[in-house]
Each structure stands twice: as C-alpha cells, then as structure tokens.
A and B are shown apart, each in its own frame.
Chain A
Amino acid sequence: MTMRSYFPWVAGAVLVAVPFVYHSPYPLHIMIQILIWSFAYTSWSVMGRFGLVSLGHGGFMGIGAYVTALLWNHVGLSPWLGIPVALLAAGALALIVGWPCFRFRITGHYFALVTLALSGIVLQVITATRDYTGGSLGYTPERHKAGESALLALQFTDKETWYLIALGVWAAGLYIWHLVDRSMSRYALEAISEDEDAAAATGVNVTKEKLRITVLSAVMTAFAGALYCQYQMFISPDTVSGISVSLQMVFAVVVGGIYVSLGPTAGAIITLLLAETLRISFGTKAVGWDNLVYGVLLVLFIIFLPKGILGSLMEVRWLRRQATSVIPGGSEGAAANGDALRPDPSLRSG
C-alpha cells in the first residue's frame, strides 16, 4: 500500500521537475498539448462517464477560446477577467441546452444529437461573424504591447512556464474528477444513468443533478479552450470548436478509458502521439493518409478494447488480484471507490 500511496507524489514531482532539466522546445510543446487536451478530455468524461454523451463539447471549448480572445482584442479585457466571463458564458449555454433536454427526458442518442447541433451552431456563429472572429481563417489574440505586463495579458513566450501552467490545470482536472467520484452526486448520477424513475423515487432531483454535472463539465471544457487560445495564440473553428473537436474528445476518452480517472489522459497521450507520428512519417508524401490510418486505428481500438486501453489494463490487474486474493471481496474496494473498472461490461454509448 505504501508504494501505491507514494506513487502519485513521486510521479507529480517528476512531472514538475521536467521543464527545469529539459528545455528542448518540441517535446515540451507536445507535452503541453497533451496536458491541455488531457484536461479537456477529463472535463468531457466528468459527465460522459455517466452515460451523458455530449457531442457538443467542441462548442464549449470554442466559447472558452473565442470569448477570451474577442474580449482581449476588442474590449482590451485581460484574460484574467475575460476567462471568467467565457466560463460564465459556457455555463449559461450549458444551462440553456441542458435544461430542456433534462426536463423533457431527452436522453441517450437523442441527447447526443441535440448536443451535436450545439457544436454545429457555435461553429456557424464563429464563421458567420467573420468580421469579428476571422471566420474559418482563424483568429489571433493581439500580442501585449512592449511596456505592458505579460502576466496581465497571460501571454508567455517560454514553454517552461506554459508547461507548468498546463500541468497545474491538468492536475486540478484530475482532482475535480476525484471529488465528483467521491461525492454523493456520483451515486445519484450512476443511478440516473441506469433508471431515471427509480432514481427519482429515492429522492434524487434528476434534472438538477444532470444540470450540475453538465455545467461543471462545460465550464471546465471552456477553460481548456481559453488555455489553448492563450498558449497557441491562434485559434480556428477547426482546432477548438465544431463537430470534429467534439468527436475527437469522445474518441480519445473511449480509447483511453471512460471509467478511470487517468483514462482521458491516456487517451490524449495515445491519440496525440499517434497523430503526430503519422503526420511526420507520412509527411508530404501522402497528404491525408495519416488521417485515414488514424481513423482505422481508432475504430480498431473501440472494437477490441471497448473499456479503453487504461481501463482494460486495470481490469486485467483487478481480475488478477481477485484471483490471488484469499478473502472473498478483498479487492481493496478498488471497484467501489471508482479507481478501477466498473464491472459493467458494456460501454454505454447513449
């Protein structure tokens, strides 16, 4: 047990130490990307793990990025204030879309379709207001002026700073995941995902519980968008909003493992490294082929490892421990505290 309880701290210390001993910009850039997307995927899975499959999170991410950048460029509002405004906007949109869905029992595939429309709408709004947002050509937050504070503008040129920011945000995302996992809300949401009427009959306010988790998830995702915007200093509808980003989130979480806290992170590492490797190895010789191979590999993952890579690994370990354990049910409560796999064999897609 001591090994287990020390491990997160040791791993954390190693991760924090990386930028102080290692300065190569390209690997750092990849790691920052992975951390930001891991946070975004974790945000999605906060609700996705309860069968609330949203295909609209690209929309929330786009709002986080665009509202922050627009307020900075047009109003001169520092991201320190712009980001909270963006988060409020994303939360409000989540309420507007979520309330009617949950109140009128739009669940499963129908919920996924409604949220799919949401990503489409956000994308359309960004392209339609191209005079302000740059449309499909993308948008760049203005560099802060020479005399002004980089901190106030939340613009840093060195990768080390961004790495530490992204690491902190990612760790906070995991912490929120665990807070939800340990709360009574998890009981309620698991119950709701199985049987809404029976959940209501235990006194759960189904609409309220679903709204709370949706707003939390949307706000976190918008924060990922804002962070992405500040780091990349360039956003376009394709990279932070729209249906493709929404699908990217779902795929990555499914590949990594939807029911484990580090599943979305594993998904981000695998999908980003895979995409990057394919992009470099195919290069300019066969444009588009990297995407094809990427797509085929994702489909294979989903078919053969429906619990995700991390999920499947943890299940194997869990089963081994079950097998070697002398005391019946002596699995350290791994399944019950949500660290290991839900025994539910099927991945809920709706």
Chain B
Amino acid sequence: MLNVEGLVKRFGGFTAVNGVSFKVEPGEILGLIGPNGSGKSTIFNMLSGTLSPTAGSIRFEGREIAGVSPHSIINRGIGRTFQIPRPFRRLSIFENVALAGFYGQGSHSQSKAFAAAEQALALVGLPGDRHARVDGLGAAGLKKLELAKALATGPKLLLADESLSGLDEHEMDQAADMLDRIRKELGMTIIWVEHIMGVLMRIVDRVMVLDHGEKIAEGLPSAVAHDPRVVEVYLGTDSAAVQALAAARG
C-alpha cells in the first residue's frame, strides 16, 4: 500500500531523516517509535505533504506522492492527526469534523460531509450536537476530535501522530482500543507514531524503531523489544525501563 524508499530530509546542515525505507501492507498497524528528535514526526510530515523530502520516494497505491501538496494527499486517502491537537476554536466540534468530511473527500456534497462527520463523531465517542463548542473539551476530548477530523476525511491510510501523550493510563488504553477498532471495523491501515512503548506494543502488528534519523530495527513487537540496540537506544541502560517494557509485553 505504502512504499517508502531512501527517504532523506535535511534542514540546512542537519539531517533529520537519513535514508529510511519501509513498506506498509493493507490492513496492518505499523508502530513507529523512537526517542524525541529521532525523525518520526519529520517522516510523518513528509508522508502527509507538510514537508517535501530532500531525496527518496514515497509511493502510495503505486503513485508517487513525495512533494505533493497536503490537501491533495488527503484527497488521495491519507489522513493525519497532529501530535498536539490543532482544533479550530472558531468552529463548533461538529463543524470541525464536517469541514474535514467536506474538503477531505473532494468537496462534493454538504450532506455527505455532514453524514461523515456524524459517523466519525459517533465512532470516537463525541457528541453529535451541532453547536457544542471546542472550548468544552479536555485533553482526551481534543485527541478524540483530532482523530474524528482525520477519520472524516475518509482515509485508507491513517497517520496517527503520538496520539496518547498527555493522557492518563485508562484514557491511553481506551485510545489504543479505539485505533484497534478502527482498523478492524473500517479496515483502515494505520501508522502509529508514539513514544510510549507499552500501549503501542499491545496493538500493533509490526514496529519500526528510529534513532537519529535512521531505522535501527523493524519487526514483530516481541522481537523488536528484545533487540539489544533498541533497548540501549530507546530505553537507555536503565534497568527499570527494561523491566517496564517486559511488563508491558506480558
């Protein structure tokens, strides 16, 4: 479905992403992890068109999308959420999602957009009230809104960017289950960027680990978690962290 080859992004003299290649198969959830500054968000921004790569190719369903503008990438079927929710506070919750439903699906019909918005809001568990304001939402609510906006664009591939930061443990589990449900019920393919390893490991099919802009490991969650390079780079040599990881796997 998605085929990334030799992706490079330089900002001046700094190489944020250095020759990363990976594939995503239809219907799977790929976890993308790595410490802060490892290049996860940069890769995301290139996949969604916010940044254009310095070199390399991104093929989505066989077509090159590297350097294509964000709105046309959305319309080809790649939806995204932002690490820090970016709601439109001058619009109601419903209008936020209806906007995505309209413009994310080729701006055809307002009634279709409204239907898509109602569906997306119901799926993430937000009220379908047309006038409810964004200001009434807490951190978890804003994450849900962010997800609803991405879902309303009708994506085949969903890019979920660190969707769990700022949530408590219970909310994290709920959010993880939500992504799992979206994959199962809607048959959506998902790339999930996260730095909280535990919850992610429970849901994803495969994990890719980045460090300093390079891929250092890829594979099944259980295999990757045992990889000594991953343990060293990602968790440091802190034994408590290693134990936490082991607990999460169990």
* Chain A residues packing against B (C-beta within 8 Å): 184, 187-188, 190-191, 193-195, 197-206, 329, 331, 333, 335-336, 342-344
Contact = CB atoms under 8 A, between A and B. Distances in A.
Q: Which of A193, A197, A200, A201: most chain B CB closer than 10 A?
A: A201
B50 interface: yes
A45 to B, nearest CB: 16
A202 B104 contact: yes
A206 B74 CA distance: 13
A197 B50 contact: yes
B89 A202 contact: no
Given A194-B89, A201-B48, A202-B104, A187 B71 contact: no
A77 B129 CA distance: 55
Given A184-B107, A184-B110, A331-B131, 17 more contacts: A184-B103, A188-B103, A190-B91, A191-B90, A195-B86, A197-B86, A198-B86, A200-B70, A200-B74, A201-B86, A202-B104, A202-B149, A202-B153, A203-B102, A204-B99, A205-B71, A336-B131
B58 interface: no
A255 B151 CA distance: 41
A188 B99 contact: yes
A-B CB proximity, top 3 nearest: A203-B104, A203-B103, A198-B86
Nearest to B106: A203
Nearest to A195: B86
Interface residues of B, number: 38
Nearest to B104: A203
Nearest to B153: A203
Interface string B51-92: 000000000000000000111101100001010001011111
Contact of B89 (A199, A200, A344): A344
Contacts of A335: 131
B130 A336 contact: yes
Nearest to A204: B103
A325 to B, nearest CB: 12
A184 B91 CA distance: 12
A208 to B, nearest CB: 9
Interface string B111-142: 00100000000000000011111010000000
A201 B91 contact: no
Contacts of B131: 329, 331, 333, 335-336
A202 B129 contact: no
B41 interface: no
Contacts of B95: 187, 336
A200 B71 contact: yes
Contacts of A201: 48, 50, 70, 74, 80, 82, 86
B129 to A, nearest CB: 7
A194 B149 CA distance: 16
B100 interface: yes
B157 interface: no
B210 interface: no
A190 B89 CA distance: 9
A203 B86 contact: no
A213 to B, nearest CB: 15
26 contacts: A184-B102, A184-B103, A187-B95, A188-B103, A190-B88, A191-B88, A195-B86, A197-B50, A198-B86, A198-B88, A200-B69, A202-B99, A202-B104, A202-B149, A202-B152, A202-B153, A203-B75, A203-B102, A203-B104, A204-B103, A333-B130, A333-B131, A336-B131, A342-B90, A343-B133, A344-B90
Contacts of A195: 86, 88
